[in-house]
Chains A and B, each alone.
Chain A
Protein backbone atom coordinates (compact mmCIF):
# COMPACT_ATOMS: atom_id res chain seq x y z
CA UNK A 1 0.00 0.00 0.00
CA UNK A 2 2.87 2.37 0.75
CA UNK A 3 4.56 1.62 -2.54
CA UNK A 4 1.22 2.24 -4.26
CA UNK A 5 1.08 5.59 -2.48
CA UNK A 6 4.61 6.48 -3.55
CA UNK A 7 4.04 5.32 -7.16
CA UNK A 8 0.74 7.19 -7.40
CA UNK A 9 2.31 10.45 -6.22
CA UNK A 10 5.14 10.11 -8.74
CA UNK A 11 2.69 9.25 -11.53
CA UNK A 12 0.44 12.23 -10.83
CA UNK A 13 3.33 14.69 -10.46
CA UNK A 14 5.10 13.46 -13.61
CA UNK A 15 1.91 13.97 -15.59
CA UNK A 16 0.96 17.36 -14.13
CA UNK A 17 3.64 19.90 -13.29
CA UNK A 18 1.11 21.92 -11.26
CA UNK A 19 1.30 19.25 -8.58
CA UNK A 20 3.47 20.18 -5.62
CA UNK A 21 4.05 17.83 -2.71
CA UNK A 22 4.35 19.60 0.64
CA UNK A 23 5.42 17.75 3.74
CA UNK A 24 5.79 18.93 7.32
CA UNK A 25 9.18 17.26 7.66
CA UNK A 26 7.62 13.80 7.61
CA UNK A 27 7.63 10.93 5.16
CA UNK A 28 11.18 9.66 5.39
CA UNK A 29 11.73 6.96 2.74
CA UNK A 30 8.20 7.28 1.38
CA UNK A 31 9.30 10.16 -0.84
CA UNK A 32 12.64 8.79 -2.08
CA UNK A 33 11.29 8.12 -5.57
CA UNK A 34 9.33 11.34 -5.66
CA UNK A 35 12.37 13.42 -4.74
CA UNK A 36 14.44 11.65 -7.36
CA UNK A 37 11.85 11.85 -10.13
CA UNK A 38 10.20 15.22 -9.39
CA UNK A 39 12.67 17.21 -7.26
CA UNK A 40 11.31 20.62 -8.21
CA UNK A 41 7.81 19.60 -7.12
CA UNK A 42 8.84 18.60 -3.59
CA UNK A 43 8.72 21.12 -0.73
CA UNK A 44 9.65 20.26 2.82
CA UNK A 45 7.85 23.06 4.67
CA UNK A 46 9.54 22.27 7.96
CA UNK A 47 7.97 21.50 11.31
CA UNK A 48 5.33 24.15 10.75
CA UNK A 49 2.09 22.52 9.66
CA UNK A 50 -0.18 25.53 10.09
CA UNK A 51 1.92 27.63 7.74
CA UNK A 52 2.20 24.69 5.32
CA UNK A 53 -1.57 24.55 4.85
CA UNK A 54 -1.78 28.33 4.39
CA UNK A 55 1.00 28.12 1.79
CA UNK A 56 -0.90 25.31 0.05
CA UNK A 57 -3.90 27.63 -0.04
CA UNK A 58 -1.92 30.40 -1.73
CA UNK A 59 -0.40 27.95 -4.21
CA UNK A 60 -3.83 26.53 -5.07
CA UNK A 61 -5.29 30.01 -5.51
CA UNK A 62 -2.54 30.73 -8.03
CA UNK A 63 -3.24 27.57 -10.06
CA UNK A 64 -1.10 24.86 -8.47
CA UNK A 65 -2.40 21.49 -7.25
CA UNK A 66 -0.84 21.00 -3.80
CA UNK A 67 -0.76 17.63 -2.06
CA UNK A 68 -0.16 18.14 1.65
CA UNK A 69 1.33 15.24 3.58
CA UNK A 70 1.52 14.69 7.31
CA UNK A 71 0.66 12.22 10.01
CA UNK A 72 -3.08 12.16 10.54
CA UNK A 73 -2.56 13.32 14.12
CA UNK A 74 -1.34 16.61 12.57
CA UNK A 75 -3.00 16.66 9.13
CA UNK A 76 -5.94 17.23 9.58
CA UNK A 77 -6.18 17.48 13.36
CA UNK A 78 -3.59 20.12 14.19
CA UNK A 79 -4.49 22.25 11.17
CA UNK A 80 -8.24 21.85 11.15
CA UNK A 81 -8.90 25.59 11.17
CA UNK A 82 -6.48 26.22 8.29
CA UNK A 83 -8.21 23.49 6.28
CA UNK A 84 -11.60 25.00 7.06
CA UNK A 85 -10.84 28.67 6.37
CA UNK A 86 -7.96 28.65 3.91
CA UNK A 87 -8.90 25.64 1.75
CA UNK A 88 -12.43 24.23 2.17
CA UNK A 89 -14.21 27.58 2.34
CA UNK A 90 -13.09 28.26 -1.22
CA UNK A 91 -13.33 24.66 -2.43
CA UNK A 92 -9.65 24.70 -3.46
CA UNK A 93 -8.13 21.62 -5.14
CA UNK A 94 -5.84 20.48 -2.33
CA UNK A 95 -5.34 16.83 -1.37
CA UNK A 96 -4.44 16.13 2.25
CA UNK A 97 -2.79 12.84 3.16
CA UNK A 98 -3.09 11.88 6.82
CA UNK A 99 -0.69 8.98 7.26
CA UNK A 100 -0.39 6.58 10.18
CA UNK A 101 -4.06 6.92 11.10
CA UNK A 102 -5.46 4.93 14.00
CA UNK A 103 -2.90 3.12 16.15
CA UNK A 104 -0.08 2.75 13.60
CA UNK A 105 2.26 4.61 15.96
CA UNK A 106 1.34 2.21 18.72
CA UNK A 107 4.61 2.65 20.61
CA UNK A 108 4.58 6.45 20.56
CA UNK A 109 1.42 7.22 22.49
CA UNK A 110 -1.48 9.59 22.11
CA UNK A 111 0.36 12.43 20.33
CA UNK A 112 0.89 10.26 17.24
CA UNK A 113 -2.36 8.29 17.35
CA UNK A 114 -5.40 9.51 15.50
CA UNK A 115 -8.92 8.25 16.08
CA UNK A 116 -10.92 11.46 15.69
CA UNK A 117 -9.80 12.65 12.24
CA UNK A 118 -12.76 11.34 10.21
CA UNK A 119 -15.26 12.91 12.60
CA UNK A 120 -13.52 16.29 12.46
CA UNK A 121 -12.85 16.26 8.73
CA UNK A 122 -16.28 15.20 7.57
CA UNK A 123 -18.03 18.02 9.43
CA UNK A 124 -16.13 20.62 7.38
CA UNK A 125 -18.23 21.71 4.38
CA UNK A 126 -16.73 20.91 0.94
CA UNK A 127 -14.13 18.54 2.39
CA UNK A 128 -14.28 15.02 0.94
CA UNK A 129 -13.02 12.15 3.09
CA UNK A 130 -11.52 8.94 1.70
CA UNK A 131 -10.24 5.91 3.60
CA UNK A 132 -8.54 3.30 1.41
CA UNK A 133 -7.91 -0.25 2.65
CA UNK A 134 -5.19 -1.48 0.30
CA UNK A 135 -3.02 -0.64 -2.69
CA UNK A 136 -5.86 -0.77 -5.25
CA UNK A 137 -8.13 1.40 -3.16
CA UNK A 138 -5.26 3.82 -2.62
CA UNK A 139 -4.74 4.15 -6.39
CA UNK A 140 -8.45 4.62 -7.00
CA UNK A 141 -8.83 7.18 -4.20
CA UNK A 142 -5.97 9.29 -5.56
CA UNK A 143 -7.19 9.05 -9.10
CA UNK A 144 -10.67 10.23 -8.09
CA UNK A 145 -9.29 12.93 -5.77
CA UNK A 146 -7.16 14.30 -8.60
CA UNK A 147 -10.04 14.33 -11.11
CA UNK A 148 -12.38 15.84 -8.55
CA UNK A 149 -10.22 18.96 -8.20
CA UNK A 150 -11.69 19.78 -4.79
CA UNK A 151 -10.48 19.49 -1.19
CA UNK A 152 -10.00 15.85 -0.22
CA UNK A 153 -8.67 14.29 2.95
CA UNK A 154 -7.22 10.82 2.35
CA UNK A 155 -6.78 8.81 5.52
CA UNK A 156 -3.99 6.26 5.34
CA UNK A 157 -3.92 3.74 8.16
CA UNK A 158 -2.01 0.50 8.77
CA UNK A 159 -0.62 -0.25 5.35
CA UNK A 160 0.79 -3.78 5.46
CA UNK A 161 -2.33 -5.81 6.13
CA UNK A 162 -2.35 -7.52 2.78
CA UNK A 163 -4.45 -7.31 -0.33
CA UNK A 164 -8.18 -6.72 -0.41
CA UNK A 165 -8.55 -6.45 -4.19
CA UNK A 166 -6.56 -8.60 -6.56
CA UNK A 167 -7.26 -6.35 -9.54
CA UNK A 168 -7.62 -2.59 -10.11
CA UNK A 169 -11.03 -1.35 -9.01
CA UNK A 170 -13.44 0.93 -10.82
CA UNK A 171 -15.66 2.13 -7.96
CA UNK A 172 -17.09 5.59 -8.49
CA UNK A 173 -16.96 8.36 -5.89
CA UNK A 174 -19.06 7.34 -2.86
CA UNK A 175 -19.53 3.69 -3.81
CA UNK A 176 -19.14 0.89 -1.32
CA UNK A 177 -17.52 -2.14 -2.93
CA UNK A 178 -19.07 -5.57 -2.49
CA UNK A 179 -16.43 -8.07 -1.41
CA UNK A 180 -18.89 -10.86 -0.70
CA UNK A 181 -22.58 -10.80 -1.54
CA UNK A 182 -24.67 -12.36 1.19
CA UNK A 183 -28.13 -13.78 1.21
CA UNK A 184 -30.95 -11.35 1.94
CA UNK A 185 -31.95 -11.32 5.59
CA UNK A 186 -28.45 -11.97 6.88
CA UNK A 187 -25.82 -9.92 8.60
CA UNK A 188 -23.91 -7.22 6.65
CA UNK A 189 -20.35 -6.28 7.57
CA UNK A 190 -19.29 -2.80 6.42
CA UNK A 191 -15.65 -1.95 7.02
CA UNK A 192 -13.24 0.83 6.09
CA UNK A 193 -9.45 1.15 6.00
CA UNK A 194 -7.41 -1.19 8.14
CA UNK A 195 -10.45 -3.03 9.50
CA UNK A 196 -11.41 -4.44 6.09
CA UNK A 197 -8.95 -7.32 6.38
CA UNK A 198 -10.29 -8.23 9.84
CA UNK A 199 -13.82 -8.14 8.44
CA UNK A 200 -12.71 -10.46 5.61
CA UNK A 201 -11.31 -13.00 8.06
CA UNK A 202 -14.48 -12.82 10.16
CA UNK A 203 -16.62 -13.53 7.10
CA UNK A 204 -14.51 -16.46 6.11
CA UNK A 205 -14.31 -18.22 9.45
CA UNK A 206 -17.18 -16.99 11.62
CA UNK A 207 -20.03 -15.50 9.63
CA UNK A 208 -20.13 -17.36 6.32
CA UNK A 209 -23.60 -16.14 5.36
CA UNK A 210 -22.88 -12.47 6.00
CA UNK A 211 -22.33 -10.00 3.20
CA UNK A 212 -19.17 -7.90 3.22
CA UNK A 213 -18.47 -4.40 1.88
CA UNK A 214 -15.47 -2.10 1.93
CA UNK A 215 -15.97 1.66 2.04
CA UNK A 216 -13.06 3.62 0.55
CA UNK A 217 -15.23 6.77 0.51
CA UNK A 218 -16.63 8.14 3.75
CA UNK A 219 -17.83 11.46 2.33
CA UNK A 220 -19.59 11.60 0.03
CA UNK A 221 -21.15 8.16 0.29
CA UNK A 222 -23.63 6.45 -2.01
CA UNK A 223 -26.81 6.80 0.08
CA UNK A 224 -28.98 4.63 -2.13
CA UNK A 225 -26.55 1.77 -2.04
CA UNK A 226 -26.24 2.04 1.72
CA UNK A 227 -30.00 2.15 2.19
CA UNK A 228 -30.32 -0.94 -0.02
CA UNK A 229 -27.84 -2.83 2.14
CA UNK A 230 -29.61 -1.78 5.35
CA UNK A 231 -33.02 -2.82 3.97
CA UNK A 232 -31.92 -6.29 2.96
CA UNK A 233 -29.81 -7.17 6.00
CA UNK A 234 -30.89 -8.47 9.39
CA UNK A 235 -28.37 -6.19 11.07
CA UNK A 236 -25.36 -4.12 10.07
CA UNK A 237 -21.95 -4.22 11.68
CA UNK A 238 -19.57 -1.33 10.93
CA UNK A 239 -15.85 -1.68 11.56
CA UNK A 240 -13.25 1.09 11.67
CA UNK A 241 -10.03 1.97 13.47
CA UNK A 242 -11.54 5.29 14.55
CA UNK A 243 -13.79 6.61 17.28
CA UNK A 244 -17.34 5.30 17.31
CA UNK A 245 -18.35 8.95 17.52
CA UNK A 246 -18.64 10.67 14.17
CA UNK A 247 -16.78 8.14 12.05
CA UNK A 248 -17.84 5.66 9.38
CA UNK A 249 -20.27 3.89 11.72
CA UNK A 250 -21.96 7.20 12.43
CA UNK A 251 -22.33 7.87 8.69
CA UNK A 252 -24.12 4.55 8.26
CA UNK A 253 -26.29 5.07 11.35
CA UNK A 254 -27.26 8.62 10.32
CA UNK A 255 -28.48 7.51 6.91
CA UNK A 256 -30.09 4.28 8.07
CA UNK A 257 -32.00 5.94 10.90
CA UNK A 258 -33.81 8.18 8.43
CA UNK A 259 -34.43 5.84 5.52
CA UNK A 260 -33.93 2.21 6.55
CA UNK A 261 -33.95 1.79 10.32
CA UNK A 262 -31.94 -1.30 11.08
CA UNK A 263 -29.98 -2.52 14.06
CA UNK A 264 -26.48 -1.14 13.58
CA UNK A 265 -23.57 -2.19 15.76
CA UNK A 266 -20.60 0.15 15.49
CA UNK A 267 -17.24 -1.41 16.16
CA UNK A 268 -14.56 1.20 16.64
CA UNK A 269 -12.61 2.98 19.34
CA UNK A 270 -14.56 3.76 22.52
CA UNK A 271 -14.39 7.19 24.10
CA UNK A 272 -10.90 6.77 25.53
CA UNK A 273 -7.19 7.30 24.85
CA UNK A 274 -4.64 4.48 24.76
CA UNK A 275 -3.43 3.56 28.21
CA UNK A 276 -0.41 1.47 27.27
CA UNK A 277 2.54 1.29 24.93
CA UNK A 278 3.05 -1.75 22.74
CA UNK A 279 2.94 -3.32 19.31
CA UNK A 280 0.15 -2.52 16.86
CA UNK A 281 -1.48 -5.86 17.67
CA UNK A 282 -1.24 -5.13 21.37
CA UNK A 283 -2.92 -1.74 21.00
CA UNK A 284 -5.72 -3.17 18.87
CA UNK A 285 -6.35 -5.65 21.65
CA UNK A 286 -6.35 -2.91 24.26
CA UNK A 287 -9.12 -1.23 22.28
CA UNK A 288 -11.02 -4.41 21.50
CA UNK A 289 -10.29 -4.22 17.78
CA UNK A 290 -8.24 -7.40 17.30
CA UNK A 291 -9.80 -10.39 15.54
CA UNK A 292 -10.76 -12.29 18.70
CA UNK A 293 -12.28 -9.29 20.49
CA UNK A 294 -14.26 -8.23 17.46
CA UNK A 295 -15.52 -11.79 16.98
CA UNK A 296 -16.75 -11.90 20.57
CA UNK A 297 -18.36 -8.48 20.39
CA UNK A 298 -20.26 -9.34 17.22
CA UNK A 299 -21.36 -12.71 18.60
CA UNK A 300 -22.71 -11.21 21.80
CA UNK A 301 -24.46 -8.50 19.76
CA UNK A 302 -26.15 -11.17 17.66
CA UNK A 303 -27.14 -13.14 20.75
CA UNK A 304 -28.56 -10.06 22.40
CA UNK A 305 -30.65 -9.20 19.35
CA UNK A 306 -32.56 -12.48 19.35
Chain B
Protein backbone atom coordinates (compact mmCIF):
# COMPACT_ATOMS: atom_id res chain seq x y z
CA UNK B 1 0.00 0.00 0.00
CA UNK B 2 2.72 2.44 0.99
CA UNK B 3 4.84 1.47 -2.02
CA UNK B 4 1.96 1.35 -4.52
CA UNK B 5 0.76 4.79 -3.44
CA UNK B 6 4.25 6.22 -2.94
CA UNK B 7 2.90 7.30 0.42
CA UNK B 8 4.40 9.06 3.42
CA UNK B 9 3.85 8.45 7.18
CA UNK B 10 5.04 4.85 7.07
CA UNK B 11 6.77 4.89 10.45
CA UNK B 12 3.66 6.23 12.21
CA UNK B 13 1.61 3.30 10.92
CA UNK B 14 4.08 0.64 12.03
CA UNK B 15 4.10 1.92 15.61
CA UNK B 16 0.38 1.18 16.18
CA UNK B 17 -0.14 -2.06 14.26
CA UNK B 18 -0.13 -4.39 17.28
CA UNK B 19 -2.40 -2.04 19.22
CA UNK B 20 -4.92 -2.01 16.37
CA UNK B 21 -4.63 -5.76 15.87
CA UNK B 22 -5.41 -6.37 19.56
CA UNK B 23 -8.36 -3.99 19.55
CA UNK B 24 -9.84 -5.51 16.40
CA UNK B 25 -9.30 -9.11 17.47
CA UNK B 26 -10.37 -8.84 21.10
CA UNK B 27 -12.34 -5.73 21.88
CA UNK B 28 -14.08 -3.84 19.12
CA UNK B 29 -17.62 -5.14 18.64
CA UNK B 30 -19.21 -4.52 15.25
CA UNK B 31 -22.63 -6.24 15.12
CA UNK B 32 -22.85 -8.23 11.89
CA UNK B 33 -19.38 -6.92 11.07
CA UNK B 34 -21.01 -3.65 10.03
CA UNK B 35 -18.69 -0.63 10.45
CA UNK B 36 -21.76 1.60 10.79
CA UNK B 37 -23.78 -0.59 13.19
CA UNK B 38 -25.50 1.66 15.68
CA UNK B 39 -24.40 -0.49 18.62
CA UNK B 40 -20.73 -0.73 17.56
CA UNK B 41 -17.81 0.16 19.78
CA UNK B 42 -15.96 3.22 18.58
CA UNK B 43 -12.36 3.37 17.43
CA UNK B 44 -11.18 6.92 16.79
CA UNK B 45 -7.81 7.27 15.14
CA UNK B 46 -6.98 10.73 16.38
CA UNK B 47 -3.44 10.41 15.08
CA UNK B 48 -4.72 10.12 11.52
CA UNK B 49 -1.17 9.80 10.23
CA UNK B 50 -1.20 6.10 11.16
CA UNK B 51 -4.19 5.40 8.93
CA UNK B 52 -2.44 2.74 6.82
CA UNK B 53 -2.42 0.43 9.83
CA UNK B 54 -6.20 0.81 10.15
CA UNK B 55 -6.70 0.27 6.41
CA UNK B 56 -4.85 -3.04 6.78
CA UNK B 57 -7.23 -4.07 9.59
CA UNK B 58 -10.19 -2.99 7.47
CA UNK B 59 -9.06 -5.35 4.72
CA UNK B 60 -8.97 -8.15 7.29
CA UNK B 61 -12.53 -7.31 8.27
CA UNK B 62 -13.59 -7.31 4.63
CA UNK B 63 -14.48 -3.62 4.61
CA UNK B 64 -11.80 -2.84 2.04
CA UNK B 65 -10.29 -4.92 -0.74
CA UNK B 66 -6.65 -5.45 -1.65
CA UNK B 67 -7.34 -3.46 -4.79
CA UNK B 68 -8.59 -0.52 -2.69
CA UNK B 69 -5.22 -0.58 -0.96
CA UNK B 70 -3.33 -0.63 -4.25
CA UNK B 71 -5.01 2.64 -5.18
CA UNK B 72 -4.38 4.27 -1.81
CA UNK B 73 -2.85 7.77 -2.13
CA UNK B 74 -3.66 7.74 -5.87
CA UNK B 75 -5.85 9.80 -8.19
CA UNK B 76 -9.53 9.16 -7.51
CA UNK B 77 -9.04 7.01 -4.40
CA UNK B 78 -11.32 7.64 -1.45
CA UNK B 79 -8.51 6.35 0.79
CA UNK B 80 -6.72 9.55 1.65
CA UNK B 81 -3.36 9.91 3.30
CA UNK B 82 -4.97 10.80 6.61
CA UNK B 83 -8.00 9.46 8.47
CA UNK B 84 -11.23 10.63 6.83
CA UNK B 85 -14.61 10.13 8.47
CA UNK B 86 -16.39 9.60 5.16
CA UNK B 87 -14.70 6.19 4.88
CA UNK B 88 -16.72 3.51 6.69
CA UNK B 89 -14.64 2.29 9.61
CA UNK B 90 -13.05 5.67 10.33
CA UNK B 91 -14.99 7.65 12.93
CA UNK B 92 -13.28 11.04 12.62
CA UNK B 93 -11.40 13.20 10.19
CA UNK B 94 -7.94 13.69 11.47
CA UNK B 95 -4.55 14.89 10.43
CA UNK B 96 -5.09 18.27 11.86
CA UNK B 97 -4.19 16.98 15.29
CA UNK B 98 -6.06 17.19 18.56
CA UNK B 99 -9.54 16.67 17.07
CA UNK B 100 -10.23 12.97 17.50
CA UNK B 101 -10.08 12.82 21.28
CA UNK B 102 -12.94 15.32 21.66
CA UNK B 103 -15.01 13.47 19.06
CA UNK B 104 -14.36 10.24 20.98
CA UNK B 105 -15.30 11.94 24.24
CA UNK B 106 -18.59 12.99 22.62
CA UNK B 107 -19.24 9.45 21.39
CA UNK B 108 -18.49 8.09 24.85
CA UNK B 109 -20.76 10.66 26.49
CA UNK B 110 -23.53 9.68 24.06
CA UNK B 111 -23.10 6.01 25.02
CA UNK B 112 -23.24 6.94 28.69
CA UNK B 113 -26.39 9.04 28.23
CA UNK B 114 -28.03 6.20 26.30
CA UNK B 115 -26.68 3.59 28.75
CA UNK B 116 -25.53 1.31 25.95
CA UNK B 117 -22.19 0.25 27.43
CA UNK B 118 -20.42 0.88 24.12
CA UNK B 119 -16.69 1.33 24.51
CA UNK B 120 -14.70 4.09 22.86
CA UNK B 121 -11.00 3.78 22.08
CA UNK B 122 -9.09 6.84 20.97
CA UNK B 123 -5.53 6.52 19.68
CA UNK B 124 -3.44 9.67 20.01
CA UNK B 125 0.21 10.25 19.22
CA UNK B 126 2.79 11.48 21.72
CA UNK B 127 3.50 14.38 19.35
CA UNK B 128 -0.21 15.04 18.96
CA UNK B 129 -0.68 15.62 22.65
CA UNK B 130 1.18 18.93 22.30
CA UNK B 131 -2.24 20.16 21.16
CA UNK B 132 -4.34 22.08 23.68
CA UNK B 133 -7.75 20.50 22.92
CA UNK B 134 -6.34 17.12 24.04
CA UNK B 135 -6.06 18.42 27.59
CA UNK B 136 -9.51 20.04 27.39
CA UNK B 137 -10.86 16.65 26.33
CA UNK B 138 -9.16 14.84 29.22
CA UNK B 139 -10.64 17.28 31.74
CA UNK B 140 -14.11 16.81 30.27
CA UNK B 141 -13.80 13.01 30.13
CA UNK B 142 -12.89 12.80 33.79
CA UNK B 143 -15.48 15.37 34.89
CA UNK B 144 -18.20 13.30 33.22
CA UNK B 145 -16.74 10.00 34.50
CA UNK B 146 -16.56 8.39 31.08
CA UNK B 147 -15.42 5.01 32.36
CA UNK B 148 -15.92 3.29 29.01
CA UNK B 149 -13.48 5.63 27.29
CA UNK B 150 -9.90 4.52 26.77
CA UNK B 151 -7.22 6.85 25.44
CA UNK B 152 -4.25 5.01 23.97
CA UNK B 153 -1.09 7.07 23.59
CA UNK B 154 1.31 5.85 20.92
CA UNK B 155 4.51 6.90 22.62
CA UNK B 156 7.03 6.34 19.84
CA UNK B 157 9.21 9.20 21.00
CA UNK B 158 9.14 11.08 17.71
CA UNK B 159 7.14 13.83 16.11
CA UNK B 160 7.44 15.31 12.65
CA UNK B 161 10.63 17.27 13.10
CA UNK B 162 12.52 15.37 15.77
CA UNK B 163 12.28 13.49 19.04
CA UNK B 164 9.56 14.54 21.44
CA UNK B 165 12.31 15.14 23.96
CA UNK B 166 13.91 17.74 21.68
CA UNK B 167 10.74 19.35 20.36
CA UNK B 168 8.36 19.47 23.32
CA UNK B 169 9.43 17.30 26.19
CA UNK B 170 6.33 15.72 27.72
CA UNK B 171 8.37 14.07 30.52
CA UNK B 172 6.16 11.35 32.03
CA UNK B 173 2.99 11.09 29.97
CA UNK B 174 1.57 8.50 32.36
CA UNK B 175 1.82 10.80 35.37
CA UNK B 176 0.12 13.57 33.41
CA UNK B 177 -2.83 11.28 32.66
CA UNK B 178 -2.82 10.14 36.29
CA UNK B 179 -3.08 13.70 37.48
CA UNK B 180 -6.00 14.30 35.08
CA UNK B 181 -7.88 11.51 36.88
CA UNK B 182 -7.36 8.66 34.43
CA UNK B 183 -6.67 5.08 35.46
CA UNK B 184 -3.39 4.61 33.66
CA UNK B 185 -1.15 1.71 32.60
CA UNK B 186 2.07 1.63 30.64
CA UNK B 187 2.63 -1.22 28.19
CA UNK B 188 4.99 -2.45 25.54
CA UNK B 189 2.98 -1.35 22.50
CA UNK B 190 4.35 -4.16 20.34
CA UNK B 191 3.45 -6.99 22.71
CA UNK B 192 -0.12 -8.06 21.96
CA UNK B 193 -0.49 -10.09 25.14
CA UNK B 194 0.78 -7.20 27.27
CA UNK B 195 -1.63 -4.82 25.51
CA UNK B 196 -4.52 -7.26 25.88
CA UNK B 197 -3.83 -7.92 29.57
CA UNK B 198 -3.55 -4.22 30.39
CA UNK B 199 -6.77 -3.30 28.61
CA UNK B 200 -8.54 -6.13 30.41
CA UNK B 201 -7.14 -5.01 33.77
CA UNK B 202 -8.11 -1.39 33.21
CA UNK B 203 -11.70 -2.25 32.30
CA UNK B 204 -11.99 -4.61 35.26
CA UNK B 205 -11.37 -1.77 37.70
CA UNK B 206 -14.45 -0.74 39.61
CA UNK B 207 -13.67 2.99 39.35
CA UNK B 208 -15.68 5.39 37.26
CA UNK B 209 -12.54 6.98 35.80
CA UNK B 210 -11.72 7.05 32.13
CA UNK B 211 -8.75 4.85 31.18
CA UNK B 212 -5.40 5.55 29.58
CA UNK B 213 -2.94 3.13 28.07
CA UNK B 214 0.51 4.56 27.48
CA UNK B 215 2.01 2.35 24.80
CA UNK B 216 5.77 2.47 24.48
CA UNK B 217 6.37 1.92 20.79
CA UNK B 218 9.01 2.12 18.11
CA UNK B 219 8.39 4.29 15.08
CA UNK B 220 8.92 2.08 12.02
CA UNK B 221 8.70 -1.11 14.11
CA UNK B 222 9.46 -4.30 12.20
CA UNK B 223 11.73 -2.78 9.57
CA UNK B 224 15.14 -2.35 11.16
CA UNK B 225 16.29 0.40 8.82
CA UNK B 226 13.14 2.41 9.61
CA UNK B 227 13.14 1.88 13.35
CA UNK B 228 13.96 5.00 15.32
CA UNK B 229 14.73 6.81 12.05
CA UNK B 230 12.39 9.78 11.85
CA UNK B 231 13.07 10.39 8.16
CA UNK B 232 10.42 7.67 7.55
CA UNK B 233 7.79 10.15 8.66
CA UNK B 234 8.14 11.70 5.19
CA UNK B 235 10.30 9.36 3.07
CA UNK B 236 8.65 7.32 0.32
CA UNK B 237 9.65 3.76 -0.60
CA UNK B 238 11.57 3.05 -3.79
CA UNK B 239 11.85 -0.39 -5.35
CA UNK B 240 15.01 -1.21 -3.41
CA UNK B 241 13.83 -0.04 0.03
CA UNK B 242 10.44 -1.69 -0.64
CA UNK B 243 12.09 -5.09 -1.24
CA UNK B 244 14.36 -4.63 1.77
CA UNK B 245 11.39 -3.71 3.96
CA UNK B 246 9.41 -6.78 2.86
CA UNK B 247 12.38 -9.05 3.52
CA UNK B 248 12.85 -7.50 6.94
CA UNK B 249 9.17 -7.89 7.83
CA UNK B 250 9.25 -11.58 6.86
CA UNK B 251 12.03 -12.18 9.36
CA UNK B 252 10.75 -9.95 12.17
CA UNK B 253 7.05 -10.89 12.01
CA UNK B 254 6.16 -14.12 13.76
A113 to B: closest C-beta gap in Å: 23
A153 to B: closest C-beta gap in Å: 19
Chain B residues with CB under 8 Å of A61's CB are 91, 103, 106-107, 110
Q: Does A190 contact B (CB under 8 A)?
A: no
Proximity string of chain B (28-70) to chain A, C-beta cutoff 8 Å, 1 when within and 0 when not? 0000000000100000000000000000000000000000000
Chain A residues with CB under 8 Å of B152's CB are none
B94 to A: closest C-beta gap in Å: 8
B136/A58 in contact, CB under 8 A = no
* Cα distance A267–B98 in the bound complex, in angstroms: 39
* Cα distance A53–B102 in the bound complex, in angstroms: 8
B78 to A: closest C-beta gap in Å: 14
B110/A59 in contact, CB under 8 A = yes
Residues of chain A from 28 to 87 with CB closer than 8 A to chain B in the complex: 45-46, 48, 50-64, 81-82, 85-86
A64/B110 in contact, CB under 8 A = yes
Q: Which single residue of chain B is at the shortest CB-CB distance from A54?
A: B102
Known: A57-B102, A82-B99, A90-B85. A51 touches B111 (CB 8 A): no
Q: Does A297 contact B (CB under 8 A)?
A: no
Q: Does B137 contact A (CB under 8 A)?
A: yes
Interface residues on B, range: 20 to 34
A46 to B: closest C-beta gap in Å: 7
A54/B109 in contact, CB under 8 A = no
Q: Does B114 contact A (CB under 8 A)?
A: yes
B14 to A: closest C-beta gap in Å: 26
Known: A51-B102, A90-B85. A58 touches B110 (CB 8 A): yes
Q: Does B133 contact A (CB under 8 A)?
A: yes
Chain B residues with CB under 8 Å of A54's CB are 99-103, 105-106, 133, 137
Q: Does B96 contact A (CB under 8 A)?
A: yes
B166 to A: closest C-beta gap in Å: 26
Chain A residues with CB under 8 Å of B137's CB are 51, 54-55
Pick the 9 closest A-B CB pairs, nearest first.
Answer: A58-B106, A54-B102, A62-B110, A51-B136, A48-B136, A55-B106, A58-B107, A50-B133, A51-B102
